[in-house]
Amino acid sequence: MGVSCRLQYPPQCGIRGRILSLAFFGSFRGLEVFLTDLYGLSKYLDSPRQSQELSHVIIPLLACLKNENGEKYHLTPLCLVTSSGLQVETWVRRLVQCQAHFGRVQGPAFTTLAGAPAYTSTLEMDILDRFHAIQARRRILLRQTFRYMSSMA
């Protein structure tokens, strides 16, 4: 039944995983993760990030929020490595490197291969396809009566 995702990147880029990981690490809701600015990511990765002897990585969201005039950075500091060992900085660096591979150094951090901004709808079918694959492989994880396509779409 494979439905292909509209984010057609080489597997080594793992762009889907980076979107989902960054959304998880930063506790971003809805469309917030898609406001991540590529130039800001690169800029803050290259600057010293020590605050009271704690290292961190900065996730810059570029948006006009809370009745502000014009777009501004909203900086979200995240730990470099979570207590469970997830490598936040590594995921962020790879995202910047992947986009640089395609000649992108500014604009949205998450784009389609053609360079258009990615949105939640870009991932929807891929996520539903993964539910189908999980249900087929590990029947115990999702009830067999669970109809993910009609429930989630």
- Are residue 111 and residue 124 in the same domain, yes or no? no
59: which DSSP letter?
Answer: E
- In this structure, is residue 109 part of a structural domain? yes
- Are residue 125 and residue 111 in the same domain, yes or no? no
- In this structure, is residue 1 part of a structural domain? no
H or E stretch at 15: helix 15-25
- Are residue 93 and residue 137 in the same domain, yes or no? no
- Are residue 132 and residue 94 in the same domain, yes or no? no
- Are residue 53 and residue 26 in the same domain, yes or no? yes
Name the band, by pLDDT with cuts 50, 70 and 90, for residue 132. Answer: confident
The per-residue pLDDT of the chain, averaged, comes to: 75
- In this structure, is residue 16 part of a structural domain? yes
At 76-85, the pLDDT tens digits run 989 888 888 8
**pTM attached to this predicted model:** 0.70
Domains in the chain, number: 2
At 19-48, the pLDDT tens digits run 777 888 888 887 888 889 999 999 998 876
- Are residue 102 and residue 130 in the same domain, yes or no? no
- Are residue 133 and residue 82 in the same domain, yes or no? no
Q: Could you give the CA distance from residue 127 to residue 121 in angstroms, rounded to a whole number?
A: 10
- In this structure, is residue 60 part of a structural domain? yes
Residue ranges making up the domain that contains 130: 119-153
- In this structure, is residue 4 part of a structural domain? no
- Are residue 94 and residue 50 in the same domain, yes or no? yes
Describe the crossing of helices 88-101 and 15-25 by its angle, rounded to 10 degrees.
Answer: 140
Predicted confidence at residue 40, as pLDDT, reads 94
- In this structure, is residue 3 part of a structural domain? no
At 43-95, the pLDDT tens digits run 998 876 655 556 888 999 988 766 667 678 888 989 888 888 888 888 888 88
- Are residue 72 and residue 26 in the same domain, yes or no? yes
Degrees, nearest 5: CA angle 20-21-25: 120
